[in-house]
Structure 1
Amino acid sequence: MNYQVYLDLEVLKEQKKFTLAADSRGCLQSTLSRRLLAEEVALECTLFDRKTHELTFAGKLYLKYGVKLEQIRKELSEFVGDETRAEDAIDFRSFSYIYEIFQTGNITNAAENLYISQPALTQYLNSLERNLGKKLLNRHRGRCEFTDEGARYLTIVEAARKIDRGFKTELDTHLRRTSHKIRIALSRQTGSLMISRVLSTFLEEFPHIQIDITEADTDRARELLLKDQVDMAILVVPGLSGGTLRYSKIYREELKLITPMNLEKRYPGSVRLEDLDGERFILQQEFTAVQHIVSAALRQHNCTPDVICRINLFRAMVNMVASGAGIALLPEHALLDYGKDFHVVSLEPPIYYYLVYAVQDVKRCSEAMKRLMELLKDQQ
């Protein structure tokens, strides 16, 4: 949204004509007209009907959410101590830049996600701090920490972004009548667990969106995304290079060795994979993403397991280890809810995998999709 456009529409609602509205706003008619047209182009809809001289549905919706921006203006006025500067500070580009820095923790990664150069983002941030008269961030060795004033500004940013998301979602729902479904391909265990953590929060904000989940292995999920048969894929991968797809990290996790309790003395601390050669292993099926990573690590470290069973369910693998059937390599999160009837050992060197999400084109994503991606990033 654009606060100045909201003010323009308020006046146009009453004055009906651009000439009168421009006089009332204290600007040139061409300025008001260009500002409104630019917003209409960005939203791909008409806000003011030039023939009837009336606000369209989208224009009325803009006013509805624009009223909520008045609270943002009041908070910014208190923050900067100046009414005029507060109006200028309602800048959703600044809001998105600051929020991305908050999400990533550093300017380099934020610039990459925003598709701008790091020097350009740094320059923009410096300009923003000058205009606000506030220091928002402390930068040290590539990391960014928000100052107390930066944290206060971030609270205002999040409130403004929520208003903007609400407007664009309602516009999509009632005007465009687009499909209100997000199609996600993910792994049965790791991906399903992650989506369950964010789904309730997401549906509170977007109650009309349907989530359509396809459980698939990583290769199949990637294929579905590339064929545009799903909107997002949540994948388990060994690294962050996605080839034609761009991966966004949700988290990195360590694979742990779990053994029966009677092997605790044999493996009291960190263990090398080479030392597990010939041990009785319980493994997942080869087509699973985690097993791809496990198999590669076993080959790399010259460890030939005595495979006694292959089964895909983490819980079943844990139960079999606890009963003394063999040992297994499992993601750390898979052990949290399964009791303590087994021994957990770190590997040396450790083996990691990444849980990531991928979309074909961020610029094509709806506001609901963008919010879902933000919630997934928050799990880092």
Structure 2
Amino acid sequence: MNLYISKRHMEVFLEVSRSGTMSAAADILCVTQPAVSQSVAELEQQLGVRLFDRFRRRLSLTYAGEVFLDHVRRINSIFLEAGFRMEAIAELREERLRIGASMTIGSFILPSRIRRFTEAYPGIRIGIVVDNTARIREGLLGNQLDIGVVEGPLEHPDLITRFLAVDPLCLVCSSNHPWSRTDMIDKSEIARENFIMREDGSGTRSIIESLFTRYGIDYSLGHTINNIEGIKKVVTAGFGVTVLPRIAVADEIERGELSETYIEGIVLRREFRYAIHKDKTRYPVLAAWVEHLRASMESTE
């Protein structure tokens, strides 16, 4: 059976079944009686059954009409529910947001900000993927993520990136390292140390390599570790030095487990950015999240 039943057909059918006459239904629907009669006739022709019997100048549902009425009521209920949910989504009472974050941001920046965002918008379900910058880029390009928040470069013609905040980096060593007894070193001293780095694809690594190239800093790559906590443990144990985000080592420095040293004439810092696909629809939830993120980042600068 090749059916085409429009929402208008169902609205006319519902009103005729309620009112019991074509003329009464026409008055309520603000159309002519012939238009109502034609709509019912088209519906019966599509379905291949009679929906109404005429008794004493009133229309009465046939058994087929009763069955169809039950289904139309359920369909109408689904339409109403769909409308209510679309309204809830438009008003941010319900939504889904898939966030990708690089390691530093996902571990140290986003948790408190996501908590405050969900307190403001409890109906929004947030999924978060924390991985290196290269993986976040893949998720954005494949539409598995709605937005990425990263510190590394995301060069790709299909991605739009925007500045969020400046993130200071710091050179750290163990509390027993000779550097711990001085506030400043010359950049040439770094090449004589075992330098600990994140893995390829890490935004942090890419930025450090770029900064070292810009300032002409030579280094000897020692261990490669794919997470910040692992790097901190290795450096704390005295097996090398590293550059990490200050927010990631603030507690260890305060406890005296790590020591921060400055490089003469050089300021180490990077930028936090958010990224979305150029074809991504700018949903209200995206605008709300970016506004929340910007405000929270500015308040901590």
Scaled to the shorter chain, the TM-score interval is: 0.5 to 0.7
Superposition deviation, residue 341 in structure 1: 1.5
Secondary structure in 2 matching 1:292:
helix
Alpha-carbon separation, structure 2, partners of 1:207 and 1:221: 25
- Which runs of structure 2 are paired with 1:327-366 in the superposition (5 Å)? 327-338=241-252, 339-347=255-263, 348-360=265-277, 364-366=281-283
- Counterpart residue number, 1:216: 131
Flag the 1:175–1:337 CA change in 2: closer, same or farther, 3 A: closer
Alpha-carbon separation, structure 2, partners of 1:266 and 1:292: 26
Flag the 1:377–1:174 CA change in 2: closer, same or farther, 3 A: closer
- Which runs of structure 2 are paired with 1:105-120 in the superposition (5 Å)? none
Equivalent residue letter for 1:247: T
Flag the 1:366–1:205 CA change in 2: closer, same or farther, 3 A: farther
2:87 is equivalent to residue 172 of structure 1: yes
Work out which of the residue numbers 320, 326, 335 in structure 1 matches 2:240.
Answer: 326
Superposition deviation, residue 359 in structure 1: 2.1
Superposition deviation, residue 377 in structure 1: 0.3
Alpha-carbon separation, structure 1, partners of 2:261 and 2:158: 36
Superposition deviation, residue 177 in structure 1: 11
Q: Any idea what the Cα deviations from partners look like across 1:307-354, whole Å, max 9, x if unmatched?
A: 332213222322222222211111111112333222101233112211
Superposition deviation, residue 212 in structure 1: 1.6
8 A Cα contact 2:180 2:259, kept in partner: no
Flag the 1:203–1:244 CA change in 2: closer, same or farther, 3 A: same
Alpha-carbon separation, structure 1, partners of 2:159 and 2:181: 40
Alpha-carbon separation, structure 2, partners of 1:181 and 1:222: 20
Superposition deviation, residue 206 in structure 1: 1.8
Q: Any idea what the Cα deviations from partners look like across 1:14-58, whole Å, max 9, x if unmatched?
A: xxxxxxxxxxxxxxxxxxxxxxxxxxxxxxxxxxxxx869xxxxx
8 A Cα contact 1:255 1:330, kept in partner: yes
Equivalent residue letter for 1:207: P
Secondary structure in 2 matching 1:346:
strand
8 A Cα contact 1:278 1:303, kept in partner: no
Work out which of the residue numbers 286, 289, 294 in structure 2 matches 1:372.
Answer: 289
8 A Cα contact 1:271 1:345, kept in partner: yes
- Counterpart residue number, 2:122: 207
Equivalent residue letter for 1:312: N
Superposition deviation, residue 294 in structure 1: 1.5
- Which runs of structure 2 are paired with 1:1-380 in the superposition (5 Å)? 172-173=87-88, 180-237=95-152, 244-264=158-178, 268-338=182-252, 339-347=255-263, 348-360=265-277, 364-378=281-295, 379-380=297-298
- Counterpart residue number, 1:154: none
Flag the 1:176–1:277 CA change in 2: closer, same or farther, 3 A: closer
Alpha-carbon separation, structure 1, partners of 2:126 and 2:153: 27
Superposition deviation, residue 284 in structure 1: 1.4
Equivalent residue letter for 1:209: I
Superposition deviation, residue 204 in structure 1: 1.6
Superposition deviation, residue 303 in structure 1: 4.0
Secondary structure in 1 matching 2:144:
coil
Give unmatched runs, 5+ long, in structure 1.
1-50, 54-168
Alpha-carbon separation, structure 2, partners of 1:176 and 1:342: 47
Alpha-carbon separation, structure 1, partners of 2:280 and 2:227: 37
8 A Cα contact 2:166 2:272, kept in partner: yes
Higher RCO by CA contacts (8 Å cutoff, separation 6 or greater): 2
The structure with the greater share of residues assigned to strand is 2
Superposition deviation, residue 226 in structure 1: 3.0
Flag the 1:177–1:344 CA change in 2: closer, same or farther, 3 A: closer
8 A Cα contact 1:238 1:353, kept in partner: no
Flag the 1:195–1:182 CA change in 2: closer, same or farther, 3 A: same
Secondary structure in 1 matching 2:240:
coil
Secondary structure in 1 matching 2:103:
coil
Superposition deviation, residue 297 in structure 1: 2.9
8 A Cα contact 1:234 1:356, kept in partner: yes
Equivalent residue letter for 1:344: E
8 A Cα contact 1:274 1:301, kept in partner: no
Alpha-carbon separation, structure 2, partners of 1:178 and 1:52: 33
Flag the 1:269–1:210 CA change in 2: closer, same or farther, 3 A: same
Secondary structure in 1 matching 2:119:
helix
Superposition deviation, residue 175 in structure 1: 8.1
8 A Cα contact 2:171 2:261, kept in partner: yes
Superposition deviation, residue 222 in structure 1: 2.1
Superposition deviation, residue 274 in structure 1: 2.9
8 A Cα contact 1:217 1:289, kept in partner: yes
Superposition deviation, residue 278 in structure 1: 2.4
Superposition deviation, residue 361 in structure 1: 5.3
State the Cα RMSD in Å: 3.3
Larger radius of gyration: 2
8 A Cα contact 1:206 1:368, kept in partner: no
Superposition deviation, residue 363 in structure 1: 8.7
